[in-house]
Amino acid sequence: MIMGSIGSNLQEVKQRIATACATAGRSANSVTLLAVSKTFEAAAVRAAHDAGQREFGENYVQEALAKIEALAGLRPRPVWHLIGPLQANKTRAVAEAFDWVHSVDRLKIAQRLSAQRPAALPPLNICLQINVSGEASKSGLVPAEPAELADVARAVAALPRLRLRGLMSIPEPATHFEAQRALHRVLAQALAALNAQGLQLDTLSMGMSADLEAAVAEGATIVRVGTAIFGRR
């Protein structure tokens, strides 16, 4: 990875977001760019931070904790988002080190995160992961069972040390724009349904390097971009 290209890659991705926002009639600052730094060294995160990037997404807890510690001196402080699977035995470390967790798919995990979130830190921001493609192999709550989703959302929203912000999806790859949009629309509709039932959720975490335009068209508020910023993994 050539560090010098990270800054220009970031500019290109921000331009893609701005163009997609303009097309959708949205303001460019309604979408937050999450730079997904999994498998890349702390030096790559530092280069992105030098270029003005503040929000970083990590998939693997052990790898992330090492990077968070290595970069503890960075100012302004990076905002760390966990976007990968979270097992119950890792919740304490995550509750102590991260600002957001996008991949909560069970109440039990949320309960542990709330109980373990240190009192000195603000509430942990949470998204519920939704399986929009319906593949049995994928993790996530199923929007086809809206009652169950609403029950979980209400229970998570009531936990004292968490702040339920919204929903996250990792759809199966689709090559055509309209197919990408259709998958992102499932998540947007699930969020609208929850808000119609009285929840106050403001976050749709969807869209990656290959489909961020379709995600912005369907209302994404956070796009998670790795390859287009840091290069191939």
Ligand X SMILES: *Cc1c(COP(=O)(O)O)cnc(C)c1O
Contacts with ligand X, residue ranges (CB under 6 A): 36, 38, 59, 83-84, 170, 208-210, 224-228
Q: Which is nearer to ligand X, 75 or 232 (CB)?
A: 232
* Beta carbons within 8 Å of 62's beta carbon, 6+ residues apart: none
C-beta closer to ligand X: residue 42 or 60? 60
How many Cβ atoms are within 10 Å of 232's Cβ, its own excluded?
Answer: 7
> Closer CB to ligand X, residue 124 or residue 215?
215
Please state the closest distance from residue 228 (CB atom) to ligand X, in A: 6
Task: Work out the number of other CB atoms within 10 angstroms of the CB of residue 148.
Answer: 12
Closest separation in Å from C-beta 172 to ligand X: 13
Query: Rounded to the nearest whole angstrom, what is the least distance from the CB of residue 83 to ligand X in the complex?
Result: 4
Minimum CB distance to ligand X smaller for 20 or for 83: 83
Question: Using an 8 Å Cβ cutoff, are 67 and 42 in contact?
Answer: yes
Distance between CA atoms of residues 141 and 180, nearest Å: 19
Question: Smallest gap, in angstroms, from Cβ of residue 161 to ligand X?
Answer: 24
Least Å distance between CB 229 and ligand X?
A: 8
Q: Considering the complex, state which of residue 68 and residue 101 has its C-beta at the smaller distance from ligand X.
A: 101
Judge contact between 93 and 116, C-beta under 8 A. Answer: no
Q: Cβ closer to ligand X: 39 or 146?
A: 39
Taking the complex as a whole, the smallest distance from the CB of residue 17 to ligand X amounts, in Å, to 13
48 and 229 in contact (C-beta within 8 Å)? yes
Contact 110, 162 (CB under 8 A): yes
Which residue lies nearest ligand X, judged by its C-beta?
226
DSSP sequence for 97-165:
H-SEEEEE-SHHHHHHHHHHS-TTSPPEEEEEEE-SS--TTS-SB-TT-HHHHHHHHHHHHT-TTEEEE
Between 195 and 227, CB nearer to ligand X = 227
In the bound complex, what is the minimum distance in angstroms from residue 158's beta carbon to ligand X?
26
Kindly report the length of the chain: 233
Closest CA to 108 of 141, 59, 147, 70: 141
